[in-house]
Amino acid sequence: MTATTTAAATGTPAYRVTAARVLRSEWHKLWTLRSTWINLAATTVLTLGMGAGISAAYDGSGEGGLDPVLFVLLGTQFATVNLAVLGILATAGEYATGQIRATMTAVPRRLPVLWSKAAVLAAVAFVLSLWTNLLTFPLAQSFLTGTDQAAALGDPGVLRGLAGNAAGLALLTVLALGLGAVARSVPLAAGAYIGLVMIVPEVLRMLPYGVVDDAVRYFPSKALESLTAAQPGPDAAAPGAALLALTLWAAASLAAAAVTLRRRDV
């Protein structure tokens, strides 16, 4: 008697949907997409290239007044967009192609798909960003010797800033993934992400209210700056508070995505 026949006779499915299998499925799905390779390669190249280019052109005047880690990792401004696109495509992209129907048919409970996508993307974004940061920093510092931006990996706050930047980018990727699942449209999700991360904080800073300034420091882009800086400025959030803020932003996005998945048809 075959396994399928035996399973039918006993009334149990031949293959069970488990968390490990859903996770493995999302892992393979991510790496079979050409957009994954393009986005990850672009993230590394732009971060490395911009860090080395700015450092090589720096004249040591000290006019910028930036934290050394923030200065070297200015290229991660592109990473916030590249990785967000990757997160949005992981959810909204499936709605655009219609693949989401096959995914939800295979996993009828739906939510394990969302958790698996978030876990896979967060892990990939963190590892890639940390590896890129650890390459970019010493490369950029080779051009900054003798300037006010010179620093070493062993200096206070430097390694924490490099790792904090990677953690922040991973959380922003999860935030974008959740927006993609809610919007179910790549353009709408991208617009919402850019508005929330890049536009809204700058608009709010124009308002003449101290409470608004206090709130803005916990918005995603400002929290990422606080996490990246080796020595956050007096007007910035503490690294621990910034990490908590980004975690809550990502959690809120995933919660909204979970509600949408449960209440709306694919």
d(CA 151, CA 9): 69
- 107 — pLDDT class (breaks 50, 70, 90): confident
d(CA 191, CA 246): 19
Q: How many CA atoms lie within 13 A of 97 on its CB side?
A: 10
- 5 — pLDDT class (breaks 50, 70, 90): very low
Query: What type of residue is 188?
Result: L
Q: Please report, for the chain, the start and end positions of each structural domain, with discontinuous segments joined by +.
A: 19-263
Q: Determine what percent of the chain falls in helix, strand and coil, rounding each to the nearest 5.
A: 75, 0, 25
Main-chain dihedrals φ then ψ at residue 42, nearest 5 degrees? -65, -40
pLDDT of residue 64: 58
Calculate ∠ Cα 170-55-64, nearest 5°. 85
**pLDDT at residue 178 greater than cutoff 50:** yes
CA 35 to chain CA centroid, nearest Å: 16
DSSP label of 155: S
d(CA 21, CA 243): 30
The whole-number average pLDDT for the span 161-180 is 96
Is the pLDDT higher at 266 or at 201? 201
Enter the tokens of residue 199.
């536009």
Give the pLDDT confidence of 109-147 residue by residue, as tens digits.
Answer: 889 899 999 999 999 999 999 999 999 999 999 999 888
Enter the tokens of residue 257.
């995505």
Is the pLDDT higher at 103 or at 217? 217
**pLDDT at residue 210 greater than cutoff 80:** no
Share of the chain above pLDDT 90, in %: 61
The whole-number average pLDDT for the span 77-87 is 93
**pLDDT at residue 2 greater than cutoff 60:** no
